[in-house]
Amino acid sequence: NAGVTQTPKFQVLKTGQSMTLQCAQDMNHEYMSWYRQDPGMGLRLIHYSVGAGITDQGEVPNGYNVSRSTTEDFPLRLLSAAPSQTSVYFCASRTGSSGNTIYFGEGSWLTVV
Amino acid sequence: RKEVEQDPGPFNVPEGATVAFNCTYSNSASQSFFWYRQDCRKEPKLLMSVYSSGNEDGRFTAQLNRASQYISLLIRDSKLSDSATYLCVVNSRNRDDKIIFGKGTRLHILP
């Protein structure tokens, strides 16, 4: 099983550039989410989706957009990259019950210079 | 009070020793509890769920104390491979179905 697949794994951007982090899951999970993880800050929720066509903001949504046109895909767009967006980004998915396991992608290391 | 709090560590423990972590949570309506393990530069992965009656998986024991609002993880006969960051995860199962991650406790097992 592929599980949750994220691309790219590493990316360097210049300030002001835009890019999209791709995330796909093959487990037919309703819930998908994007987190960023910074030293000393833990995992912080950026955006999440409870199903195709439905997205909502998390704790730190500014500077990011998402869409959920299919159950499988949940891309994260950086609109105009800033050095403060240098971080590790994790995509995650789970079934509808929040008592169930959360599956993470392998992470995307993003550096904005 | 933070929603989920963990001692960040690091805990430096000799191989073979027993180590315990606690995690406190603020929302008394929380329903589900988990421990996740995260290796350096890797994604978090589920270690074990935490049940009201306590549960054990090999060398790992998890317990829940609802009255005091904390969960614990005990690792017996620690191995070098146990070195990782351990994340406490709590969810409320209320209308917003919110999942909260602790910032993690770093564990270093020393040879």
Judged by CB atoms closer than 8 Å, whether chains meet at B93 and A98 is answered as: yes
Q: Does the pLDDT of residue B2 top 80, yes or no?
A: no
Mutate to test the interface with A, among B43, B45, B96 (most CBs of A within 10 A): B43
Question: Over chain A, what is the mean pLDDT?
Answer: 93
Average pLDDT over residues A55-71: 96
Question: Among residues 25-84 of chain B, which lie with CB inside 8 Å of chain A?
Answer: 31-32, 36, 41-46, 49
Q: DSSP string covering A49-104, please?
A: EEETTEEEE-SS-TTEEE--SSSSB--EEESS--GGG-EEEEEEEE-SSTTSPPEE
Alpha helices in chain B (DSSP H): none
The torsion region of residue B104 among left (phi > 0), alpha (psi -120 to 50) and beta comes to left
Judged by CB atoms closer than 8 Å, whether chains meet at B43 and A107 is answered as: yes
Q: Does A43 touch chain B (CB under 8 A)?
A: yes
Judged by CB atoms closer than 8 Å, whether chains meet at A99 and B102 is answered as: no
What is the CB-side half-sphere exposure of residue B66 using CA atoms within 13 A? 10
Token pair 């995860």 in the structure block, residue: B89
Distance CA A29, CA A48 (A): 12
Judged by CB atoms closer than 8 Å, whether chains meet at B32 and A98 is answered as: yes
Q: How confident is the model at residue B1 (pLDDT cuts 50, 70, 90)?
A: low
Least Cα distance to B38 among B3, B82, B6, B77 occurs for B82
Q: Does B91 touch chain A (CB under 8 A)?
A: yes
Q: How confident is the model at residue B98 (pLDDT cuts 50, 70, 90)?
A: confident
**Per-residue pLDDT reduced to its tens digit, B5-46:** 999 889 999 999 999 999 999 988 888 899 999 999 999 999
Beta bridge partners of B64: B71
Token pair 């093959």 in the structure block, residue: A26
Least Cα distance to A40 among B42, B5, B103, B25 occurs for B103
Judged by CB atoms closer than 8 Å, whether chains meet at B104 and A42 is answered as: yes
In chain A, which residues have their Cβ closer than 8 Å to the Cβ of B32?
98-99
| pLDDT given for residue B95 in this prediction | 53
Which residue of chain B has the CA closest to A10? Answer: B41
Distance CA B36, CA A59 (A): 21
| pLDDT given for residue A65 in this prediction | 97
Average pLDDT over residues A6-20: 97
**Per-residue pLDDT reduced to its tens digit, B39-96:** 999 999 999 999 888 899 999 999 999 999 999 999 999 999 999 999 999 987 655 5
In chain B, which residues have their Cβ closer than 8 Å to the Cβ of A41?
103
Q: Quickly count: other Cβ atoms within 10 Å of residue B41's Cβ.
A: 9
CA distance B12 to chain A (A): 18
Q: Does the pLDDT of residue A98 top 90, yes or no?
A: no
Q: Does the pLDDT of residue A53 top 90, yes or no?
A: yes
Least Cα distance to B52 among B27, B33, B76 occurs for B33
